[in-house]
Amino acid sequence: MPRDTHEWTPSPSPASDGTEASARDSPQLRRILRIFRPYRGRLAVVGVLVGASSLVSVASPFLLREILDVAIPQRRTVLLGLLALGLIGIAVVSSVFNVLQTFISTTVGQRVMHDLRTDVYAKLQRMPLAFFTRTRTGEVQSRIANDIGGMQATVTSTATSLVSNLTGVVATVAAMLALDWRLTLASLLLLPLFVWISRRVGRERKRITTQRQAQMAAMSALVTESLSVSGILLGRTMGRAEALTRDFSAESERLVGLEIRSHMAGRWRMSTIGIVMGAIPALLYWTAGMLVHFGGPGFSIGTLVAFVTLQQGLLRPTVSLLSTGVEMQTSLALFQRIFEYLDLRVDIEEPAAPIALEKVRGRVRFENVDFTYGDKDSTAALHGIDLTVPEGSSLAVVGATGAGKSTLSYLVPRLYDVTGGRVTIDGVDVRDLDFATLTGAVGVVSQETYLFHASVADNLRFARPGATPDQLRDAAEAAQIHDHIAALPEGYDTLVGERGYRFSGGEKQRLALARTILRDPPVLILDEATSALDTRTERAVQQAIDALSAGRTTITIAHRLSTVRDADQIVVLDAGRIAERGTHAELLAADGLYAALVRRDARTEDSSTVVRTEPVTLQSDPPAATPATRGDSPAGAPAH
């Protein structure tokens, strides 16, 4: 499956220099800090523990100096014992502080990741349908799983590491200055160079991380599409399994290269820092010797050993601090990708003062409605639609493919907002209704039936979580699917399989109808709900639809005109405009576009009957078992 180079993947180009990068990163860093604001109390406790641990650890070299310069030379055994116990006590206290700070910081980090995942998911739930029509599912999943998951180390340990190492560096430098300022200057001479190197490495890794996460998203999208039930069926029936494997291998190969570059970026430069800092003790011994040689003040053995111990203690937090800076630069790329989703503009929002209707009667009105997908220069999908559907009546919308039928149905539940005119329910603009009223008022049954990989009961309760078993049974009976469910070995506890593939097309459609019956909406939209079914299954589903439609305002998007002849009103769309309207008899008498569509359907049905008569007769005895009755065996292919 080739890569889609036109999918929605916003990512700014890397800055041309460090100044631009810093200018862009500053607001982002402030925004990241705001994420941690709800946990500032716990972070303050972590800061106190880290500071205390660092200060306690710095005391060790001073105790060591006293051991070497006083306790051992003067043979003061009691003092030696106390100093040794002090070293042990410092190790114990430091360990306890480290465990506590790790627990608190990890808890805070995991809560922050939870907040980010929830915020991104909630934002995506509010995005308009148009966003999902142009964005691959794998890309969305990658943002939530890979990008937020990649930040785990950063959000759980970076704050602690930053405070710990910074406190350790400051405390150690202060202690080194207290011992000897000249040796301190010699130790810190190369520190500015190390900071510059780490910033260069950080920017390089940030750039590579952005590319790596985009590649992971592309691979995730390929896996999601090709390893779904539909993808497997398509790949095997088209003989594309090997080609898909080659595509996946190519995507994985690209990821290998980026992972290697990510891990090796600046590795030699950072290793050089470690080598140089590891060699500084030799420089200190040499400096001390040269000072003594040229008549400078001497050093006691204890002072020199304590200073070198401090310097070695400075090595770990300094390198860790520089590495933390590199990791923060890398994490900025991940935060940037998350913020891109959080900053997406939501086109369909609940109004500031929403209207809630206590009882919806179901009168639907289209008032001079225009609608255009995309920008204003695009061709209008609907233009000048003026239409009234009285409460409890039925409207059928017919027309050629691309005439705007489904688009019209999307405007009632606000899957899209009109670009001109307005759509009202009981005289109230749907854009002024609160979401609870709107979703309770309008039920949609589409041709594309979606079922979760859960039990039949769970799928039905998605519409009404508190539904009782009796209510489930009543809804299933109304949809004419109860007898089939009851005949299954596990009844309503039967798993429907991925996207409902253990059920036939007609069975899935009737389950969708039962789900809608549970909601009991006063306005029902049927978007070509039977167009993909065979004639026999269509009759069964149509009977369920007729039962569901009784007493409701029903808008039917029709593919087969035979299903809408009894509609109170039929509208014919042509290129987004109403070409004809009336009852079935009136439109036939007018002998216009509708009559031509009816004649076309008649010819199609006659041709289909001639071709299919004999096979249908042969297959009718005995009846085939439905997939759901065959259990979970892979051999049970879905019936359609």
Rounded Cα–Cα distance for residues 123 and 327 (Å) = 27
Rounded Cα–Cα distance for residues 359 and 180 (Å) = 84
Superfamily of domain 364-630: P-loop containing nucleotide triphosphate hydrolases (3.40.50.300)
Tell me which residue of 554, 543, 580 sits closest to 393, measured CA to CA.
Answer: 554
Looking at residue 630, what is its pLDDT? Answer: 36
Looking at residue 432, what is its pLDDT? Answer: 92
Looking at residue 240, what is its pLDDT? Answer: 67
CB 604 within 8 A of CB 468: no
The pLDDT tens digits for 376-396 are 656 788 999 999 999 989 899
Residue 608: C-alpha distances to residues 434, 516, 620, 624 (Å): 47, 32, 17, 22
Tell me which residue of 214, 205, 149 sits closest to 9, measured CA to CA.
Answer: 214
Rounded Cα–Cα distance for residues 182 and 185 (Å) = 5
Rounded Cα–Cα distance for residues 345 and 470 (Å) = 43
Looking at residue 611, what is its pLDDT? Answer: 41
What are the DSSP E strand ranges found in 340-472? 364-371, 382-389, 394-399, 420-425, 428-429, 442-446
Dihedral angle computed from the Cα positions of residues 337, 340, 346 and 347, in that order, rounded to the nearest 10 degrees: -110
Residue with tokens 């609870």: 436
Residue ranges per domain, the chain?
A: 31-206+267-342, 364-630
Tell me which residue of 344, 411, 335 sits closest to 125, measured CA to CA.
Answer: 344
CB 183 within 8 A of CB 98: no
CB 478 within 8 A of CB 551: no
Rounded Cα–Cα distance for residues 321 and 162 (Å) = 6
Report helix, strand or coil for 356. Answer: coil
Name the stretches of the chain with pLDDT < 50: 1-19, 21, 609-640
Helix ranges (H only) for 227-300 are 229-237, 241-264, 267-293
**Which helix (DSSP H) or strand (DSSP E) does residue 489 occupy?**
none
Superfamily of domain 31-206+267-342: ABC transporter type 1, transmembrane domain (1.20.1560.10)
The pLDDT tens digits for 145-191 are 777 777 766 666 666 666 667 777 777 777 777 777 777 776 676 66
